């Protein structure tokens, strides 16, 4: 430094070190404060998600995931600050030589966005406040702006994701634009605190450009990190489920060709479960995709399931009730084997395993009681292996599966009959304890019943008769083939 030069923060820090201010006595207070801040942040991360069941992951695992994301983000932020400082020092004139301007481009909100997509909304809101405070500790002077700026952008990312829902990759760009707009507004507020005239219009304009670029960088960082973290942490996001719901995927195409009746049943269950979850605020994307895959195990023996059988042909007529029950139960195990073979994520494996819970196969159980000694019939042999549904989505999927299958037995599916059927299936599952671990309330079950009724009543609607046609009349016996009819029509 020469006489008359402006003493910058970097120069002051170097001079302080040259004077010997790095003695241990001088370092203990800031080090202790930093450690205390980190400890409080870790404590908040541990207690923050308490009481919230997040994708069936344990509390310890959620804490570990949050801690890992925070540590990686801190390292990334430190690198960005080093780059910002290097850029500021490489230019000699304003507005390109100000560290704070380049720091506005740091993607502070990327952590909150990743936490919201991979873990949940509540942990994302928690890190939206914690991370900017930790990042502010990395700045030598005037660190308050880092905490305010980072928190504003992080909250904008979480709320924008709530609005648009993460179901397409393009959502990232929309969230990034929202963060960029909020960054611009926050920079104007911070500049007004220090005086717009003092900073200069050119400097403020450059700050705004950097802030908006920071929002776009948030989208870029999150777009790159989501697929990597999905695989590394074994997390299934909504966009992954949407991709797996494509019915042209090999496993679903195989189900459609080899067990067409089961495929149509699965489509109906998926739509019922989706409507039900939307009615109670559960995850409709998981419900829909789980509904598509829940019966894939029926691929191996489609003829043993009534939806794939032709009229008058029932393979169970020649089997003992115990063997018939064994065949039905086995489709769950074989479905799980197919799921592992095709690398389906854990939530879909849960849908396959839990959609029947431990329910009793009443038809073959009662048939066994009628054919043999009731005392020799073991009820456990006629129950599915389970486990019972472990969350709301799996509970809704079980109800949708049972109600859709039972609705096919209605001869004249009027609205009162459908309502009575829905109530009967729900009460049976409740009495059997199948919904005990789902956290479904009576209010949820009531809303589910109304949503199921609305969907089924729409499906089984009636139309007016076509003029000139009587489709309900018994067809006349006719030995002519379709080809002969076509030839006769051509000849005429």
CA 276 – CA 270 distance, rounded (Å): 10
| CA 452 to centroid of chain Cα atoms | 22
- Among the candidates 235, 265, 280, a domain finishes at 235
Nearest to 156 by CA among 134, 135, 187: 187
- Among the candidates 235, 255, 281, a domain finishes at 235
Phi, psi at residue 255, to the nearest 5°?
-65, -40
Supply the Cα-derived Rg of the chain in whole angstroms. 31
pLDDT for 307 equals: 87
pLDDT for 331 equals: 93
pLDDT for 429 equals: 93
Is residue 464 situated within a structural domain?
Answer: no
CA 173 – CA 181 distance, rounded (Å): 12
CA 73 – CA 33 distance, rounded (Å): 20
pLDDT for 88 equals: 87
Say how many domains are in the chain. 2
CA 190 – CA 122 distance, rounded (Å): 27
Give the residue numbers spanning the domain of 162. Answer: 9-235
Question: For tokens 């592992």, what's the residue?
Answer: 340
Model pTM score: 0.77
- Among the candidates 181, 206, 235, a domain finishes at 235
Is residue 398 situated within a structural domain?
Answer: yes
Is residue 385 situated within a structural domain?
Answer: yes
CA 223 – CA 169 distance, rounded (Å): 8
Q: Do residues 155 and 110 touch, judged by C-beta distance below 8 A?
A: no
CA 393 – CA 256 distance, rounded (Å): 24
Same domain, 208 and 273: no
Q: H helices of 110-143, where?
A: 110-118, 121-136
Same domain, 81 and 51: yes
Same domain, 289 and 212: no
CA 28 – CA 25 distance, rounded (Å): 6
Same domain, 257 and 213: no
Q: 57 has which bridge partners?
A: 54
Helix (H) or strand (E) holding 67: helix 59-90
Same domain, 42 and 167: yes
Is residue 4 situated within a structural domain?
Answer: no
pLDDT for 227 equals: 86
Phi, psi at residue 284, to the nearest 5°?
-70, -25
Same domain, 138 and 26: yes
Q: Which of helix, strand or coil describes residue 88?
A: helix
Nearest to 335 by CA among 291, 369, 393, 388: 291
What letters, b where the CB count within 10 A reaches 16 and e where it falls short, cover 218-236? Answer: bbebbbebbeebbeeeebb
Q: What angle do CA 283, 284, 288 make, to 5 degrees?
A: 125
pLDDT for 252 equals: 94
Percentages of the chain per state (helix, strand, coil), in multiples of 5: 70, 0, 30
Same domain, 296 and 220: no
pLDDT for 49 equals: 64
User: Which 8-state DSSP code applies to residue 475?
Assistant: P
Half-sphere exposure for 402 (CA within 13 Å, toward CB):
27
Direct distance between the N- and C-terminal alpha carbons of the chain, in angstroms, rounded to an integer = 107
CA 329 – CA 353 distance, rounded (Å): 11
Same domain, 173 and 311: no
Return averaged pLDDT per consecutive 10 residues of the chain, 492 residues in all. Answer: 80 73 60 72 70 59 86 92 89 82 92 88 87 84 82 92 70 89 92 68 89 93 89 83 91 93 94 93 91 93 86 78 90 93 92 93 87 77 90 94 90 87 93 91 92 88 62 59 62 61
CA 112 – CA 70 distance, rounded (Å): 10
Same domain, 390 and 429: yes
CATH number of 280's domain: 1.10.3210
Same domain, 391 and 283: yes
Nearest to 171 by CA among 108, 105, 237, 94: 237
Same domain, 72 and 119: yes
- Structure tokens that stand for 113 in this block: 């966005």
CATH number of 169's domain: 1.10.1760.20
The CA–CA distances, whole Å, from 167 to 162, 221, 237, 286, 293 equal: 11, 18, 9, 11, 19
């Amino acid at each position: 430094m020469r006489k008359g030069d402006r003493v910058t923060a970097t120069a002051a820090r170097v001079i302080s070190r040259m004077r010997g201010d790095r003695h241990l006595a001088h370092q203990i207070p800031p080090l202790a404060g930093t450690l205390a801040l980190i400890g409080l942040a870790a404590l908040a991360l541990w207690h923050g998600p308490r009481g919230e069941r997040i994708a069936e992951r344990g509390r310890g695992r959620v804490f570990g995931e949050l801690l890992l994301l925070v540590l990686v983000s801190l390292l990334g932020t430190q690198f960005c600050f080093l780059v910002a400082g290097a850029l500021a020092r490489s230019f000699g004139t304003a507005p390109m030589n100000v560290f704070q301007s380049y720091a506005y481009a740091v993607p502070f909100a990327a952590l909150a966005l990743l936490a919201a997509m991979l873990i949940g909304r509540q942990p994302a809101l928690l890190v939206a406040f914690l991370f900017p405070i930790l990042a502010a500790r990395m700045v030598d002077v005037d660190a308050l702006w880092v905490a305010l700026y980072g928190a504003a952008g992080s909250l904008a990312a979480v709320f924008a994701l709530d609005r648009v829902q993460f179901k397409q990759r393009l959502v990232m760009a929309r969230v990034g634009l929202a963060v960029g707009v909020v960054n611009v507004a926050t920079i104007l507020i911070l500049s007004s605190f220090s005086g717009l005239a003092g900073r200069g219009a050119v400097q403020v304009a450059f700050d705004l450009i950097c802030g908006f670029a920071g929002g776009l960088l948030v989208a870029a960082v999150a777009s790159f990190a989501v697929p990597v973290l999905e695989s590394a942490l074994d997390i299934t996001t909504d966009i992954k489920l949407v991709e797996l719901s494509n019915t042209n995927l090999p496993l679903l195409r195989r189900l459609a060709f080899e067990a067409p009746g089961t495929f149509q049943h699965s489509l109906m269950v998926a739509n019922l479960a989706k409507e039900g979850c939307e009615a109670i605020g559960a995850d409709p994307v998981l419900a829909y995709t789980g509904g598509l895959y829940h019966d894939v195990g029926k691929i191996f023996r489609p003829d043993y399931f009534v939806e794939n059988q032709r009229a008058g042909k029932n393979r169970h007529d020649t089997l003992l009730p115990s063997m018939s029950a064994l065949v039905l139960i086995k489709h769950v195990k074989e479905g799980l084997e197919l799921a592992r073979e095709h690398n389906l994520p854990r939530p879909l494996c849960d849908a396959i395993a839990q959609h029947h819970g431990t329910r009793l196969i009443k038809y073959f159980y009662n048939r066994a009681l009628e054919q043999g000694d009731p005392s020799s019939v073991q009820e456990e042999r006629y129950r599915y292996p389970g486990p019972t549904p472990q969350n709301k989505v799996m509970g809704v999927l079980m109800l949708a599966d049972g109600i859709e299958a039972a609705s096919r037995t209605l001869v004249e599916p009027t609205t009162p009959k459908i309502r009575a059927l829905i109530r009967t299936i729900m009460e049976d599952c409740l009495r059997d304890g199948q919904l005990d671990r789902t956290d479904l309330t009576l209010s949820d079950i009531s809303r589910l019943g109304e949503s199921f009724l609305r969907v089924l009543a729409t499906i089984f609607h009636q139309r007016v008769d076509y003029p000139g046609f009587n489709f309900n009349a018994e067809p006349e016996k006719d030995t002519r083939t379709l080809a002969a009819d076509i030839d006769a029509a051509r000849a005429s």
